């Protein structure tokens, strides 16, 4: 088997001229704690690229949540605070108010942002804090093992809705992104995904805009990224992305919701 | 230099002192009996006076986490609340203590438990001195007994908070918060312009590693190390113990009381001595660290101790630990928002300590 491979040694392939992808230099060498197939790593890299391209590493402070991305500070080479569950927008408010010219962003999942942190999210958005919120929505509590989240779809199976989410007793999936877009304190609200290269490029444009908006001091820029959770959904990565396209996007449609302070018709 | 004297409520003194102490930010949420802190700050426009940020949060959860954020940037941050609101702070305080961030927290205590009452109380002693939230940690706790000390303990609190990178609580109550007294105000301390402590999260510059403010160590062995570091810090903090002794030189009977209760007991001491009872008063100024050694010294001299608190008996446990059974130690106090009178304390002293 190896006879033919010998002429194609891997060392011959790893050359500068053959490089088609590299991680951002602001991504650390720590091994990602995310499951293979998860979207978190892609979003981390996008954020790192945006910070590097804008040249704002020394001006950026991030707030990590509680959830799968609790250890986000291990992976992006910037200053971080790790907040209590749901409190990241309040922590970001404290940071931004004493450092109004720095770039402050939170990185939160759906349980963090749309359940336990609903109050902090809505009021940071309503006050129009000049911060960026990156919101990863995979419809499930990933870190604790796949429990029902505020964003879990109707009928969707999770470890705490084992027969499917019964909205008559368990409540309805929450579109918090559409909700905060109604508030005058939000300036840019968009929903994106990272399951395909074209979507990765769109998400990067959105995140870049969300960071650049901070210099305008016109309020919150929120980028929701609908993501898979192949482990929590008990699917292969490929199947989970297909399931996401078929089920999540119809309820959480991709695209801009509010741009430059105006709701998109 | 000309003294600046003002007649202020305790809550107003906290607010004015925060501005003068060079605080960078105050985040708070209204609750009786401490709302004057936020009201005074809003009225004074500290943004114009010093550049200090004042923000009314959406809840105590919001307020304490705004404190976490600004403290993580190395700023001098202060917040205030009253008992039910302080309970809501506890999650954030535990994170702040674990992440070793400096800040000043003011608890203008009211009667509890539950929604309780808006009248003064000392029922949050356990919560303040034993940690309060989850995990092994301590706040450094200052207990003012006058409006003057309300003002003076704010800059002292900031100094201690930054010295130990630890939250400092000013544990007062609705009586001192609402009471007006003459205050000699200290001069304006300029706000710091440099935040170059090596731990602050202000943006990673090329000359240093990134700073991470976190209370998390997923590996238990790392979390144990963090705990050992905290415990070592608490041992060092014992050096900050402060107390006041009143008429203790020849005392045969000792009252131990802090804050408002100590003010009441000062009158009791006079009344007792008028009756020929040689009573003295030990007033802990720091509740954590607790003046254990001072109590042990007095234990050798007096016949009995009455711990007088506006609660059902909390500090008395720390007094008993210090005394270790050598002499009788009893508790007396009104609670649930009631304040004992000097006469009531004197009766209790005679019945519980002097007579037996």
What per-residue confidence (pLDDT) applies to B1?
Answer: 59
Residue B81 in any domain: the answer is yes
B120 within a domain of the structure (yes/no) = yes
Please tell me whether residues B56 and B115 are part of one structural domain.
yes
Is the domain of B26 the same as that of B163? yes
- What pLDDT is attached to residue A184? 98
A198 Cα to chain B: minimum distance (Å): 31
Give domain status of residue B80, yes or no: yes
A30 touches chain B (CB under 8 A): no
Instruction: Say what the pLDDT of residue A7 is.
Output: 63
A94 neighbourhood in chain B, CB within 8 Å: 25, 27, 65-73, 77
A102 and chain B: CB distance < 8 Å anywhere?
yes
Residue with tokens 């980028």: A223
pTM score: 0.96
Q: What is the C-alpha to C-alpha distance for residues A219 and A20, in angstroms, rounded to an integer? A: 37
Strand residue runs (E) in chain A: 60-64, 79-82, 103-109, 132-137, 140-141, 147-148, 186-193, 220-226, 255-259, 262-263
Do both B305 and B321 map to the same domain? yes
Bond into B33 cis (ω within 30): yes
Are the CB atoms for B109 and B174 separated by under 8 Å?
Answer: yes
- For residues A39, A41, A46, A50, the Cα torsion angle rounded to the nearest 10 degrees is 150
Window 97-136 of B: residues touching A by CB (8 A cutoff) are 99
Which chain A residues have a beta carbon less than 8 Å from that of B60?
A: none
Quick check: is B102 in a domain? yes
B142 and B199, same domain (yes or no): yes
Cβ of A83 and B70 within 8 Å? no
CB A163 within 8 A of CB A157: yes
Q: Report the distance separating Cα B281 and Cα A198, nearest Å.
A: 76
List of chain A residues whose C-beta atoms are within 8 Å of the C-beta of residue B219: none
Q: Are residues B75 and B181 in the same domain?
A: yes
- Is the same domain home to B168 and B279? no
- Among B183, B216, B239, the domain-final residue is B239
Q: Is residue B213 one of the residues assigned to a domain?
A: no
The answer on B255 and B234 residing in a single domain is: no
Q: For chain B, which ranges sit under pLDDT 70?
A: 1-2, 195-196
SS3 B50: coil
Same domain for B234 and B262, yes or no, is no
Asked if residue B273 and residue B166 are part of one domain, the reply reads no
Measured between CB atoms, which of A57, A81, A123 is closest to B204? A57
What is the residue-level pLDDT of chain A in tens, covering all 265 positions?
A: 445 555 667 778 888 888 888 899 999 999 999 999 999 999 999 999 999 999 999 999 999 999 999 999 999 999 999 999 999 999 999 999 999 999 999 999 999 999 999 999 999 999 999 999 999 999 999 999 999 999 999 999 999 999 999 999 999 999 999 999 999 999 999 999 999 999 999 999 999 999 999 999 999 999 999 999 999 999 999 999 999 999 999 999 999 999 999 999 8
Residue B53 and residue A98: Cβ atoms within 8 Å? yes
**Is B194 in the same domain as B284?**
no
CATH number, residue B275: 3.40.50.920
End-to-end alpha carbon distance in chain A: 59
Domain-located, residue B97: yes
Where does A32-263 sit in CATH, by number?
A: 3.40.50.970
Nearest C-alpha of chain B: how many angstroms from A84? 7
B65 and B146 housed in the same domain: yes
Q: Is residue B155 part of a domain?
A: yes
pLDDT of residue A1: 47
State how far Cα A139 lies from the chain centre. 12
| Cβ neighbours for A48, distance < 8 A, ≥ 6 positions apart | A23, A24, A25, A26, A27, A76, A77
Total number of domains in chain B? 2
Which of B61, B99, B213 has the CB atom closest to A87's CB atom? B61
Q: What does the alpha-carbon distance between residue B75 and residue A209 come to, in Å, rounded to a whole number?
A: 29
Tell me if chain B has a CB within 8 Å of the CB of A38.
Answer: no
Collect all residues of chain A within an 8 Å Cβ-Cβ radius of residue B26.
none
Range of the domain at B307: 242-354
SS3 state at B247: coil
B233 & B260 share domain: no
Instruction: Give the distance, in angstroms, between the CA of residue B231 and the centroid of all CA atoms in the same chain.
Output: 20
| ipTM of predicted complex | 0.96
Report the C-alpha gap between B157 and B151 in whole angstroms. 10
**Is residue B220 a part of any domain in this protein?**
no
Residue A70 at interface with chain B, using a CB cutoff of 8 Å: yes
């Amino acid at each position: 088997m190896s006879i033919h491979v010998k002429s194609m040694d891997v060392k011959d392939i790893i050359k500068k001229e053959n490089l088609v992808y590299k991680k951002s230099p602001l991504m650390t060498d720590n091994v990602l704690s995310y499951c293979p197939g998860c979207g978190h790593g892609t979003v981390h890299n996008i954020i790192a690229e945006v910070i590097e391209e804008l040249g704002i590493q020394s001006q950026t402070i991030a707030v990590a949540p509680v959830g799968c991305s609790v250890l986000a500070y291990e992976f992006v080479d910037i200053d971080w605070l790790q907040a209590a569950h749901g409190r990241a927008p309040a922590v970001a408010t404290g940071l931004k108010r004493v450092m109004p010219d720095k770039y402050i962003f939170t990185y939160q999942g759906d349980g963090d942002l749309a359940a336990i942190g609903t109050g902090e999210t809505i009021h940071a958005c309503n006050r129009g804090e000049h911060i960026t919120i990156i919101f990863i929505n995979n419809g499930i509590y990933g870190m604790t093992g796949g429990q029902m989240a505020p964003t879990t779809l109707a009928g969707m199976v999770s470890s705490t809705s084992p027969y499917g989410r019964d909205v008559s007793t368990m409540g309805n999936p929450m579109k918090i992104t559409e909700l905060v877009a109604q508030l005058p304190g939000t300036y840019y609200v968009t929903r994106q995904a990272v399951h395909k290269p074209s979507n990765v490029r769109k998400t990067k444009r959105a995140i870049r805009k969300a960071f650049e908006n901070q210099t305008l001091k016109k309020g919150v820029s929120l980028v929701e990224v609908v993501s898979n959770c192949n482990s929590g959904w008990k699917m292969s990565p490929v199947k989970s992305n297909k399931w996401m396209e078929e089920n999540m996007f119809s309820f959480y449609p991709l695209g801009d919701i509010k741009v430059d302070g105006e709701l998109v018709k | 230099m000309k003294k600046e004297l003002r007649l202020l409520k305790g809550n107003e003194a906290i607010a004015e002192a925060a501005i003068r102490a060079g605080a960078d930010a105050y985040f708070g949420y209204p609750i009786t009996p401490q709302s004057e802190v936020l009201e005074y700050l809003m009225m004074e426009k500290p943004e114009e006076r010093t550049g200090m940020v004042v923000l009314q949060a959406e809840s105590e959860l919001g307020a304490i986490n705004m404190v976490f954020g600004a403290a993580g940037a190395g700023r001098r941050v202060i917040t205030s609340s009253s008992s039910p609101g302080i309970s809501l702070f506890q999650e954030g305080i535990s994170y702040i203590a674990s992440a070793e961030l400096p800040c000043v927290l003011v608890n203008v205590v009211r009667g509890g438990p539950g929604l309780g009452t808006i009248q003064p109380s000392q029922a949050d002693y356990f919560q303040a001195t034993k940690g309060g939230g989850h995990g092994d940690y301590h706040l450094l706790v200052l207990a003012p007994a006058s409006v003057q000390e309300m003002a003076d303990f704010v800059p002292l609190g900031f100094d201690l908070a930054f010295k130990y990178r630890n939250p400092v609580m000013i544990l007062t109550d609705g009586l001192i918060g609402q009471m007006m007294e003459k205050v000699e105000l200290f001069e304006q301390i300029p706000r710091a312009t440099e935040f170059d402590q090596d731990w602050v999260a202000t943006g990673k510059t090329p000359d240093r590693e990134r700073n991470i403010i976190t209370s998390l160590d997923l590996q238990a062995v790392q979390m144990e190390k963090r705990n050992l570091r905290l415990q070592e810090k608490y041992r060092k903090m014992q050096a900050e113990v402060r107390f006041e002794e009143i008429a203790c030189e020849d005392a045969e009977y000792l009252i131990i009381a802090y804050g408002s209760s100590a003010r009441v007991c000062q009158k009791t001491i006079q009344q007792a001595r008028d009756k020929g009872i040689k009573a003295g008063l030990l007033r802990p100024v720091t509740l954590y660290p607790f003046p254990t050694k001072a109590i042990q010294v007095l234990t050798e001299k007096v016949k009995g101790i009455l711990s007088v608190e506006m609660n059902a008996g909390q500090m008395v446990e720390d007094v008993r630990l210090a005394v270790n059974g050598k002499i009788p130690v009893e508790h007396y106090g009104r609670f649930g928002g009631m304040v004992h009178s000097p006469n009531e304390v004197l009766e209790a002293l005679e019945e519980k300590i002097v007579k037996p």
